[in-house]
């Protein structure tokens, strides 16, 4: 761990010690802290309001499904809500991760801390089904309101569960069971193309002759 991350990690851990003992890990050049979902909002408020930290901007909030992740056995939960924070004042970045229940992934919303979290949380809800308690308008944001399921869950069928089309008789959009059949795509094999081999050989020969003539003239 570099001195920079060591100092930042110690500062974060000591600042949050009154709330809970957090776990800090440095990997791939980034600092990640793991916190409990029960204290998430309070911790986020402290990270924002403490002047030595001043993480005033939520760059991104996303959900993660670790069900088939290579190191998933090391984790106690399948789902996590992850927060990428930036301190403009101090030029610090940090990642906050909190683990959620497998059967009913829910955590308190941080819209009250960073108003920009509104759409980020809606996206995580839409794509992964993570519920953000206290969110002012938790609706789907990328899929249709009548969409069934959550596309980024690793158990979601690749062809989807329903399809929609416009019915001329009913004069409206209707939903039907998926009619797409799954198929295995075999990659196209690209072989060497010999059509230009002779032309390339002539070009290389011409370049070689030019080099020789220049050497003789010198």
Q: Supply the pLDDT for residue 10.
A: 93
Say yes or no to pLDDT of 54 above 80: yes
At 210 the pLDDT is 66
Question: Which of the listed ranges 64-78, 140-154, 170-184, 202-216 does the model predict with the highest average pLDDT?
Answer: 140-154
For residue 25, the SS3 value is strand
Q: Which domain holds residue 137?
A: 3-217
Q: β-strand 162-167 against 131-133: which pairing, if any? A: unpaired
* Residues 169-194: tens digit of each pLDDT: 999 988 888 887 766 666 666 555 66
The reported pLDDT for the residue numbered 205 is 74
E strands, the chain, are 23-27, 30-35, 57-65, 79-87, 92-100, 106-108, 131-133, 162-167, 172-177
Q: For residue 70, what pLDDT is reported?
A: 74
- 196 vs 88, residue with greater confidence: 88
Q: What is the mean pLDDT of residues 16-21?
A: 95
Model confidence pTM above 0.85:
no
pLDDT at 99: 96
Assign residue 132 the CATH number of its domain.
3.30.460.80
Do β-strands 92-100 and 30-35 pair in parallel, antiparallel, or remain unpaired? parallel
The domain tally of the chain equals: 1
């Amino acid at each position: 761990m570099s001195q920079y991350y060591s100092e930042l990690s110690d500062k974060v851990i000591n600042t949050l010690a009154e709330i809970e003992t957090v776990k800090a890990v440095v990997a791939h050049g980034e600092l990640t802290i793991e916190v409990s979902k029960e204290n998430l909002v309070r911790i986020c408020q402290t990270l924002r309001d403490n002047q030595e930290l001043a993480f005033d901007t939520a760059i991104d909030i996303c959900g993660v499904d670790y069900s088939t992740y290579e190191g998933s056995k090391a984790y106690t939960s399948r789902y996590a809500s992850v927060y990428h924070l930036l301190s403009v004042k101090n030029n610090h970045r940090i990642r906050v991760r909190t683990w959620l229940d497998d059967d009913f992934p829910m955590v308190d919303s941080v819209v009250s801390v960073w108003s920009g979290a509104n759409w980020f949380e809606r996206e995580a809800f839409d794509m992964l089904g993570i519920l953000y308690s206290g969110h002012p308008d938790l609706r789907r944001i990328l899929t249709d309101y009548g969409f069934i399921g959550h596309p980024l869950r690793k158990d979601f069928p690749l062809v989807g569960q329903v399809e929609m089309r416009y019915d001329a008789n009913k004069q409206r959009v209707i939903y039907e069971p998926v009619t797409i059949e799954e198929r295995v795509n075999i990659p196209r094999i690209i072989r060497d193309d010999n059509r230009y081999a002779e032309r390339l050989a002539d070009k290389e020969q011409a370049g070689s002759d030019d080099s020789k003539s220049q050497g003789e003239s010198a």
